[in-house]
Amino acid sequence: DAGVIQSPRHEVTEMGQEVTLRCKLISGHNSLFWYRQTMMRGLELLIYFNNNVPIDDSGMPEDRFSAKMPNASFSTLKIQPSEPRDSAVYFCASSLELGISADTQYFGPGTRLTVL
Amino acid sequence: DAKTTQPPSMDCAEGRAANLPCNHSTISGNEYVYWYRQIHSQGPQYIIHGLKNNETNEMASLIITEDRKSSTLILPHATLRDTAVYYCIVRGGSSNTGKLIFGQGTTLQVKP
């Protein structure tokens, strides 16, 4: 298995532009997590899905951020409009299932976003 | 999920065992202890997890105290490639939501 795939790996954009980050889950996994990492705040959970349904989006910073799962194996995280403070590394992770006591999350390589 | 406390940094000589401690004094009976690590510029990587018993896999060993209030991750023969930030996370139990809450972790520097 190729593992969790994220694209693009690097994105540089200007303030005000729309940014779309993409994530492909590991085949057979039903849960999807989006994280953001900055020096100041560390690794933060933004939102997670189970069986394509958003379960908890309390970590999404504001309405400029939105995430979707158009199908069981793919997710997008969109920022519109982007701001310099959105600059960070964005990771997605997948796991087999929620609701079990022991489940492992597998992380992608991340997308490094720079908003100028 | 219970909170964890880890030292901010540790050094280890290459080839020696690295012992990374974690305190989780408020852990509840059905919560698991997970360890992840993050090598520079990469995504976090799962290492091992356990509930009560000690666990071992190809990467590491996890020793959990009998009262479950602390644990130690052991890398038996540390290499330079083991230099990373190591995160100890407690999760699961009756309120299990699948969330991983990352703290600041321990930065392990393996030196030649």
Among B32, B41, B101, the residue with its CB nearest the CB of A102 is B32
Would an 8 Å CB–CB cutoff place B103 in contact with chain A? yes
If one counts every other C-beta atom within 10 angstroms of the C-beta of residue A18, the result is 11
Q: Nearest-CA residue of chain B relative to A96?
A: B98
**pLDDT of A53-100, one tens digit each?**
998 899 998 899 999 999 999 999 999 999 999 999 999 999 987 766
Question: In angstroms, what CA-CA distances link A25 with A50, A68, A73, B31?
Answer: 12, 13, 5, 26
Residue B95 confidence (pLDDT): 55
CA proximity to B15, closest of B85, B60, B82, B98: B82
Residue A101 has pLDDT above 70, yes or no: no
Residues of A in contact with B99 (CB under 8 A): 45, 48, 56
In this structure, what are the phi and psi dihedrals at residue A80, rounded to the nearest 5 degrees? Answer: -150, 115
* Average pLDDT taken over every residue of chain A: 92
Query: With an 8 Å Cβ cutoff, are B32 and A101 in contact?
Result: yes
Task: State the residue for tokens 């079990």.
Answer: A100
CA distance B108 to B112: 13
Residues 70-99 of B with CB under 8 A from A: 92-93, 96-99
Residue B89 confidence (pLDDT): 92
Overall average pLDDT of the B93-108 stretch: 78
CA proximity to B69, closest of B52, B86, B54, B85: B52
| Percent of chain B predicted with pLDDT > 90 | 73
Hey, what amino acid is at A51? N
Residues of A in contact with B100 (CB under 8 A): 33, 45, 105
Asked if A116 and A86 count as a contact pair (C-beta separation under 8 A), the reply is no
Query: With an 8 Å Cβ cutoff, are B98 and A106 in contact?
Result: no
| Percent of chain B predicted with pLDDT > 70 | 92
Q: Nearest-CA residue of chain B relative to A97?
A: B98
Give the gap in angstroms from C-alpha B98 to the nearest C-alpha of chain A: 5
Give the gap in angstroms from C-alpha A24 to the nearest C-alpha of chain B: 15
Residues β-bridged to residue A74:
A24, A71
**pLDDT of B22-73, one tens digit each?**
999 988 888 889 999 999 989 999 999 999 989 999 999 999 999 999 999 9
Tokens of A22: 């993409």
Residue B97 has pLDDT above 80, yes or no: no
Residue B101 confidence (pLDDT): 84
Residue B2 has pLDDT above 70, yes or no: no
Tokens of A25: 């889950």
Exposure string of A28-47, with b = 16+ CB inside 10 Å and e = fewer, is ebebbbbbbbeeeeebebbb
| Strand pairing category for A111-115 and A10-13 | parallel
Give the gap in angstroms from C-alpha B66 to the nearest C-alpha of chain A: 20
Overall average pLDDT of the B99-109 stretch: 90
**pLDDT of A1-36, one tens digit each?**
679 999 999 999 999 999 999 999 999 999 999 999
